[in-house]
Each structure stands twice: as structure tokens, then as C-alpha cells.
Amino acid sequence: MLTLIPLLALGAACDSGPSAIDESGRWSVVHSGLPGALTSIWGTGADNVWAVGSDPGDGSGPMVVNFDGERWFQLETGHSGDLWWVFGFEDGPVFLGGKGGLILRFESGEFQRMETPGRGSVYGIWGTAPDDLWAVGGSLPKDAFAWRFDGRSWRVAEGFPTELAESYSMFKVWSRAGDDVWMIGTGGVAVHYDGAGFKQEPSGTDNLIFTVHADSETYAAVGGLGVGVILENDGSGWKDVTPKGTPHLMGVWLDGGGGYAAGVDGTVLRREADGWKTVDTGIPLKEAFHAVWVDPDGGVWATGGQVLAPPLADGVMIYRSPTAATDPG
């Protein structure tokens, strides 16, 4: 079922401090106060944007919204439970991962629940093709897992270090290629897959690492608890590049040498040639951003809400126009 969701107006300006990069006037509020928090955002372009999130418990199922370039629609999946991640392919399908081992595949206008080998929450999905996917997750604070999909079935990834399940949960997986896959999670855990096997690598932190992403040269991972963490890896190992005073971060997306990160209290940072800088969005939001995505046109999207403790509610989304102050749709 598709339900039209109205767009909301741009909020008033706020002061992010004299050292912040001024992007006020380029950001707008797309959604605010949705019944479920929005935990992930992804798309193929500014005319095909997906965001997913929590199940508000009102019988409608988890929050799933899609933008077609003109209007936003809410999609009813026919299933229940919080969703934590969305990832897909330009020609489809789209995969959604969530609580209790839930993985949904959206194709030809329908949601299908896929059989999975466990009941831990699926926090991250990535792949090179619809028949070559990874899913990672756990049952906080342990039971880390990695699954693979070959086009027919999801299976436990062969060789994944089972001892990690004793002390860690995995949060996200990302790669530039099938033989250079990074998985990150609780306690600063970072696991690399080189196409032949897995190796746990030092991350330089024992704090939570929530999200990992990469451009053609660098991997970046963000996290924290109380204080923020930004890590980068150019192939020589993970290095802490966190600016002083950075709060807890949960989303990151790199884009051709630049990129954005987002976190608690409406925090947004931008990656510059000389490091990460705080951004003044001009929007007085205090919700926590859980994910950020940069579309192929350079538009930046951040989603979140009340995501740090139940109930996961008050979904919010903001957008940065690549050119001028515009409200998408």
C-alpha cells in the first residue's frame, strides 16, 4: 500500500558556533515528527530515494518511505519489527534488514521476507550484485554474525571468526570490491575480508563503530558513545582523525574525496582536504541523525529521530541541495 506523506517546511536558523562551515540556506527539513525513527537512507538518485526505520507498533509495520522525484510515499511491508538498513541496485531489487533476522526484498512492487540463518538483528547489508550480498548484525552486545547471499539463499559466511560472537555485535559492512570488505561493530571491532578469508584488524578504538563507507581512495568509519569517533583507512591501517569536541556519530558517506557524517543533537560534519569540519545547517533540530547519504547529483540526505533508546520515534529527514535552498519534491 502506498500512502502520500506531505513534506514539511524549512526550520529556522540556528547557531553552530563561529568555526562551523556555514551551509544555512542550503538545508531543508523534509520530514519531522514521523511516528517511527528513520534509521537508514539510500537511493539510486534524487528521483529514487529510500528511507527505512522503526516499527511504531500501531499495526502499520516499520517505517518505509520512497521518493520518486516529486512525491514521498509510505510503503506498508506487510511485516512487523524495526528496520535498520536499506541497500539495493539501480535496476532492483532493494533489500531491507532489521530485527529478528528480518531481511525483506522489494521487487516488482512487492515485499518478500527472505529466509535467513539466524534471529539476530540485521544492522547492515552490502553487495556487488543482487546475487552477491553480505548481511551483518548481532544481538547487542554480542552474537556477531556475517551472512552471504548467492542469489538462492542466505548462509552463514564461511570462515567468519565465530569467537567474535562471544563479545561483539557487527553493525555495518561496506566495500569497494568483493575482495576488500570491511565489517565494523561494538567495542571497536573491525574485520577485513580479502576474498579468501577474514582477519580482525586493530581499529585504534574500543568505542562503538556504527557505520563504515568508502570512496575510491579511503574508508571512513564513525561511532562513539558520549564522545564521537571518526576513523579513516587509506590502506595503511585505521587512524583516528576525530576533531576535538566531536559528539557521538552514527552515519557517514564519502563522496570523491569529500563526504558527510552525522550524529546526535542534529550534528553534521563535512570532510575537507584538511579534515572534518562541523557544519551549520541552519536548522535547529535536536534529534539524532542515524544515517547520511550523498546522491549522484551531490544532494545530501540525513535521517534519524529518537534512535538512542526506545521508543524509536520522531522520525526526521533533512536535505542539502547541491545548488540552492530547495525542498525536494
Could you report the per-residue pLDDT of 95-113, keeping only the tens digit for each?
A: 999 999 999 999 999 999 9
**Contact between residue 280 and residue 15 where contact means Cβ atoms under 8 Å apart:** yes
Q: Does pLDDT of 18 surpass 90? A: no
Using CA atoms, how far apart are residues 144 and 168, in angstroms rounded to an integer? 5
Instruction: Identify the CATH number of the domain defined by range 2-8+10-320.
Output: 2.130.10.10
What is the reported pLDDT for 20?
A: 83
DSSP state of 164: G
pLDDT over threshold 90, residue 10: no
CA distances from 173 to 61, 76, 123, 150, 191 (A): 25, 26, 9, 17, 9
On average, the pLDDT of the chain sits at: 93
Read off the DSSP letter of residue 25. Answer: T
Q: Say if residue 6's pLDDT is above 70.
A: no
Question: What is the model's pLDDT at position 14?
Answer: 38
Contact, 276 vs 8, CB < 8 A?
no
Instruction: Indicate the domain borders of the chain.
Output: 2-8+10-320
User: Taking residues 176-186, what's their average pLDDT?
Assistant: 95
Answer yes or no: is pLDDT of 13 > 50. Answer: no
pLDDT value, residue 308: 92
H helices of 52-149, where? none
The residue-averaged pLDDT of 260-277 equals: 96
Q: Which helix (H) or strand (E) holds 219?
A: strand 219-225
Tell me the pTM: 0.93
CB within 8 A of 226, min separation 6: which ones?
248
Q: State the pLDDT confidence band at 286, using cuts at 50, 70 and 90.
A: confident
Write down the pLDDT at residue 2. Answer: 57
Q: Which of 80, 172, 50 is nearest to 123 (CA)?
A: 172
Contacts of 264 (CB under 8 A, 6+ apart): 247, 248, 249, 250, 288, 289, 308
Q: What is the mean pLDDT of residues 242-267?
A: 96
Are the CB atoms for 132 and 153 separated by under 8 Å? no
Q: Is 69 exposed, middle or buried (0-12, 13-18, 19+ CB in 10 A)?
A: exposed
Classify residue 13 by its DSSP letter.
P
Name the residue among 60, 1, 6, 68 with its Cα closest to residue 36: 60
The residue whose grid cell reads 553552530 is: 16
Q: Is the pLDDT of residue 9 over 50?
A: no
Dist. CA 121–CA 171, nearest whole Å: 9
